[in-house]
């Protein structure tokens, strides 16, 4: 361990301190419910500073985690890349003010847990509908691995959609001659 994982946040910010570290997926207890598998790794860098007269923390988080693809329900690697800044609020009123201004803020704490800070930030940026993207289609079960699979509907990305329209339309080969 090159640093303490608990910092006095405001003092850290005012001193312009900096620290970094790496977290293995297995340690991310607050994210566990959202992960398909607790592999993965996040590296983070936290930089203290004072911006606009207010202490804050700059956060850079990079790495990957395993989440569920909503298209094929398989496991997908979510590349995490977060670059954000949070203001350290003095009290609840200060927190509300920042909120009104659309500024990310947390209550300044003398015992801020960096692991929790990183986890909270990752949760805030969590993808709403994670899907294998165009570069990962080989891994996406719904996209099929070969041309043959693609031709047959079970492997097609829109197979689920096709099934849905067949259910009410009755068309078999994807040709829709639905009566309106």
Interface with Zn ion by CB under 5 A: which residues?
A: 69, 71-72, 132, 140
User: CA-CA distance, 137 to 102, in Å (whole number)?
Assistant: 36
CB 72 to Zn ion: min, Å? 3
CB 54 to Zn ion: min, Å? 42
CB 73 to Zn ion: min, Å? 7
User: CA-CA distance, 122 to 132, in Å (whole number)?
Assistant: 19
Nearer to Zn ion, 72 or 106 (CB): 72
CB 24 to Zn ion: min, Å? 24
Nearer to Zn ion, 72 or 114 (CB): 72
Distances (CA, A) of 85 to 3, 157, 167: 21, 37, 48
Nearer to Zn ion, 57 or 72 (CB): 72
CB 9 to Zn ion: min, Å? 39
Nearer to Zn ion, 69 or 106 (CB): 69
Residue in this structure with the two tokens 């590296």, named with its chain if needed? 43
Nearer to Zn ion, 154 or 170 (CB): 154
The encoded tokens of residue 39 equal 């592999």
Task: Describe the strand order of the beta sheet including 18-24 as a list of residue ranges.
Answer: 18-24, 37-51, 54-68, 75-89, 105-107
Q: Which of 102, 8, 122 is nearest to 55 (CA)?
A: 8
What are the backbone angles phi and psi of residue 11, rounded to the nearest 5°? -65, -40
């Amino acid at each position: 361990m090159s640093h303490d994982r608990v910092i006095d946040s405001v003092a850290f910010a005012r001193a312009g301190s900096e620290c970094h570290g790496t977290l293995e997926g297995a340690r991310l207890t607050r994210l566990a419910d959202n992960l398909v598998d607790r592999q993965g790794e996040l590296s983070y860098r936290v930089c203290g500073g004072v911006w606009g007269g207010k202490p804050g923390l700059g956060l850079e988080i990079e790495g990957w985690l395993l989440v569920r693809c909503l298209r094929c329900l398989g496991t997908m690697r979510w590349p995490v890349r977060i670059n954000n800044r949070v203001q350290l609020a003095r009290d609840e009123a200060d927190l509300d003010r920042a909120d009104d201004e659309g500024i990310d803020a947390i209550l300044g704490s003398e015992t801020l847990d960096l692991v929790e800070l990183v986890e909270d930030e990752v949760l805030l940026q969590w993808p709403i509908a994670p899907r294998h993207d165009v570069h990962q289609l080989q891994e996406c079960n719904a996209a099929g691995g070969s041309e043959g699979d693609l031709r047959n509907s079970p492997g097609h990305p829109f197979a689920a959609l096709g099934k849905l329209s067949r259910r009410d339309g009755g068309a078999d080969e994807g040709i829709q001659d639905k009566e309106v």
